[in-house]
Structure 1
Amino acid sequence: MSFTSLGLSPALAQAASAQGYLAPTAVQLAAVPAILQGHDVLATAQTGSGKTAAYCLPLLQQWLTGSQAAPRQTHTLILLPTRELAAQVGDTLRQLAQDLPRRPKIAVVFGGVSINPQMMALRGGADIVAATPGRLLDLLAHNALRLSAVKTLVLDEADRLLDLGFADELSRVLALLPPYRQNLLFSATFPPAVRALAEQLLNQPQRIDITPSDAAAPDIRQRVIEVDAAQRTLLLRHLLHTHGWERVLVFVASRHSADRVAGKLQAAGIRAAALHGDCSQGQRGQVLADLKSGRLQVLVATDVAARGIDIARLPAVVNYDLPRSPVDYTHRIGRTGRAGASGEAISFVSADCAAHFQLIEKRQRLRLPRERIAGFEPKAAAPETAVPANDGNGGIKGKRKSKKDKLREAAAREQAERS
């Protein structure tokens, strides 16, 4: 099936092909007609499945065929959780719109940079605005734009926008939007609690759930390597040398860890840099550009890089630190194996986090073999609270002491002290 058969103009169909979409992906096949027909949409599809184009293409078609009686009013608002994702969506919209007979004015706004250039860019209005919630509220407070004409609201990475970290800002934005509008929610993951919140925003939505059985599953080889925490950097250097990866994305748990690991790699002569929330927008943009161009070999990042960053032909992702949740695991490994390419996702598992990785496996319905690399075999043993790997229950259940057990132990200690 072609893009034109979905209701897109030849110019948009050609633009999609130019961006590497030779035929619609599964999520695009389902979402594009639903959006063009005016339905609300709740779409779940794996990372790298073409979700961004699945809503950008019909939004541009709607703008192209819609009334131009009120140009430069914001008809479409796209909310995103990170600066990088906002910038990427803006780039996608501009690339898809570059050969249209007339082009919409597209504004991309996010925090971490001066607000003044963004206010200047919004002079005269904008047709489509891609924004992070906090900066959008700042611009609204400065009367830099209005939302009274918004006809379509998009939440990209909707699960993140609906969680507690963004709940207050999102509520304030929603209160400023017209009550009758089209709502489009896209994400790779929708935990049950978040899905319940999403349903409250939608009016008789078209539900789209693209599972790996519905589309070609990403070709990602997932590996687990057991290693002591103190040996992880040396093991990472060993893997870089033996695999010869041109570029690799390494995930860590904190900003301090990102700087520390990147510094150790740099001291070993490896082209590495850190990416985290304390980096300025200029720094964040530069390190991503350097990784994509090959000037960097290793980007050590916190979960700020787990969503929305699209690095073509990224061969490997390494979980130096395990993610806090199974949802974050999905988003992290989804940075590789994109657009039909193959990739490798490696997780370092030390004894003290073995139980946590079993929980990730349980939630992901995985069971991955453990590997040991010669010269880096772990010396520490897993805590006794971890369930043996062959327990057969597919997950973990900590052998926690009951309240009665704790009281008995306390009584025994007291008795021993008295005697």
Structure 2
Amino acid sequence: MTRNLPTQAARIAEDISALAEITEPGRPYTRRAFTPMFLRGREWLVRRFEQAGLETRIDASGNLIGRRRGSIGGKTIMLGSHTDTVPDGGRFDGIAGVSAALEVARALNDQGITLRHDLEIVDFLAEEVSIFGVSCVGSRGMAGVRPDAWLERSADEMTLREGIAEVGGIPGKTEKREDIAAFLELHIEQGPVLEDGKLDIGVVTAIAGITRIEIIVDGRADHAGTTPMGSRQDALTAAARVVIGIEELGTRLSRGQFHFAATVGEFSIEPGAANVVPSRARLLVDARAERRADMETFVTELAALAAAVTAETGVAIEPPVTISDNLPTPCDEFVLNTLDAAAVAVGARHRRMASGAGHDTAWMARITRAAMIFIPCLGGRSHTPEEFAETADVALGAAVLLEAVQRLDRGL
């Protein structure tokens, strides 16, 4: 479908292509936070912000911010995402959202529109898991919830404190923003729902809570050739029953109205020799739920599953231990309604949906009305060099943001 949009796909394509070229040699689209390539990308982005007439600064948390002043000021509508990548990651994860936000500012310039509110475009620092093993560093800092202890985490002969200072932040300064009236983020879906449904926009209702659970299975090491099959306490076979049970439990919960997924993402056994019956297995479960009640059901039934496998096999399984637990983040209903109306206004086919992945929006929702939109990505693939989104889809998403910003500017 050909659309006459107020946003320009060519400018967006230039943004994405230029940042894609700033990558580690031989590693397509690798620009991790706190690395020289990330700093080069930031230098390019600063120039791009300035070309759009934005007043550009780095805040205390290391976020790059460009401001377009409003006629009244005092309150801010903020748009943005991130430009750091995972290793060997994609060209569009985060980058599409920053470019779309920047395009909103450029489109407002094209039309000679001055908003009542200040408009800020942000590139959050280290949304992806960084070299320090932590993520959403910038958005947590802006929300005033980044743990102080994180500053002493070290990697590559540098602390996080030093890394934030190197990008231009002030690591010892806490900065919880109180002036943000609303926050919007555009992101590729990182899944196949929109593409399969031939839809343009997903209006994100909530960001799933993420709970990680460790399970230890204690069997008994024996000779693999001489111990009868019926006399073993094989930690691996018991663990395999648990893994299958997790898949069945997660599948059942996913059939409900709300998003749910469970994955055994880490698995190890000891002693790891071909001729020894495994004596120990460790599982790390990643579970994600849009609705907290589903997560509570999963945790309860997982404990029951472990006990049942112990009773069946005689292999001891320690009670599952929750390693980390983040609650789901619902998006703001007023902003969601605004995004629905904006999608209709620009002719974008849309639906409401939850996000199974974490995003900076989850932290911004702690300090302001926040929501996000998804655009389709090829095959639903992400965090891979093959990640791809059509420029036209990014431009249409930017047009939805532009319409939503103007509606929020009038309605907040």
TM-score of the superposed pair, with normalisation by structure 1: 0.26
Higher relative contact order (CA 8 A, sep 6+): 2
Structure 1 or 2: more helix by fraction: 1
TM-score of the superposed pair, with normalisation by structure 2: 0.26
